[in-house]
Amino acid sequence: MAHPRSHSLVLSGGVLALLLLTGCGTNAPAAPPQSTQSSTASSTPPEHAASAAPATDATTQQVAEATTTDTTGSDGVGVAGPTSEESASSEPGRESTPDTGATTGGSTSAADAGEDGGHRSTSVSQDSAVRKAQDYLAISGFSRSGLIHQLEYEGFTTQEATAAVDQLSTDYDEQAAKKADDYLSVMAFSRSGLIEQLQYDGFTPEQAAHGVDAAAPDYMAQAVKKGKEYLDISGFSRQSLIEQLTFDGFTPEQAEHGADANGL
């Protein structure tokens, strides 16, 4: 019986020794078990541990580097990729020529239209000036310069008025005679006084003299008419009236006749 008990003690002592070696069987708390990953990492050599990074990180880095290479210039600055039009224009041997045909044609057409419109506008205005000149010549006598001034007064330019007057075949000797008749119909004139009046209206001395002689008024009757005009607006003695008529260009005989005919 003694031998089995001692054998049991020996076994118990071996078990105790084993427990002591493994850190068990003491009052100290048991160390927490290490994870399988930690043991695996500790068993992996250091050079393999660095390469044990996830594959997704390396793939992402490669994609980023490839993208940077495509969109980054040699100086590290991002460069946008060329468009299809820029690629075509940058190909060797090919030049991008602007289509100026349509633009040039459009500009030319617009310029032609503007010129045509200007010609039409000038033509219409010129025709109007000609018609206006004809209207004036139909009702009164005009010298060349007098008719130009009248058209300018109506709003036509000097160029338009001059061109319109010169376009008409006007006999200014005839116009001078017509103007002389116009004046004689409203008031009395001596020959020299009427010539001076026609020259004032723009007729040349030759045209004015021709117009007065063509009208051929009775200057005796004109002296009587002129004397009456003066007596209607103011009182005159016989001598003062004769002097006034002489001053207006009548001859002494004509002036005396004018005073006598008016009762002086």
Long-range contacts of 145-149 (CB under 8 A, 24+ apart): 145/202, 146/201, 146/202, 146/203, 149/202
Closest CA to 262 of 238, 233, 245: 238
Q: How many CB atoms lie within 10 A of CB 220?
A: 15
Examine residue 72 and state whether it is found in any structural domain, yes or no.
no
**CB distance 171 to 133 below 8 Å:** no
Low-confidence ranges of the chain (pLDDT < 70): 1-122
Task: Give 41-97 pLDDT, tens digit per residue.
Answer: 344 444 443 444 444 454 445 444 544 444 444 444 444 444 544 444 444 445 544
Regarding pTM above 0.75, the answer is no
Examine residue 250 and state whether it is found in any structural domain, yes or no.
no
Place of tokens 């160029």: 159
Examine residue 125 and state whether it is found in any structural domain, yes or no.
yes
Percent of the chain that is helix, strand, coil (3-state, to 5): 70, 0, 30
Buried b (16+ CB within 10 A) or exposed e, 4-41: eeeeeeeeeeeeeeeeeeeeeeeeeeeeeeeeeeeeee
Cβ-based neighbours of 78, under 8 Å, separated by 6 or more: 71, 72
What domain range is 126 assigned to?
118-170
**Longest C-alpha distance within the chain, in Å?**
206
pLDDT of residue 109: 46
CA distance 45 to 89: 58
pLDDT of residue 29: 46
**CB distance 156 to 122 below 8 Å:** no
Structural domains in the chain (count): 1
Examine residue 145 and state whether it is found in any structural domain, yes or no.
yes
Examine residue 14 and state whether it is found in any structural domain, yes or no.
no
pLDDT of residue 19: 54
Closest CA to 213 of 191, 240, 185, 183: 191
Examine residue 93 and state whether it is found in any structural domain, yes or no.
no
Examine residue 24 and state whether it is found in any structural domain, yes or no.
no
Examine residue 201 and state whether it is found in any structural domain, yes or no.
no
Closest CA to 248 of 176, 194, 207: 194
Chain centre to alpha carbon of residue 178: 51
DSSP string covering 202-242: T--HHHHHHHHHHH---HHHHHHHHHHHHHHHS---HHHHH
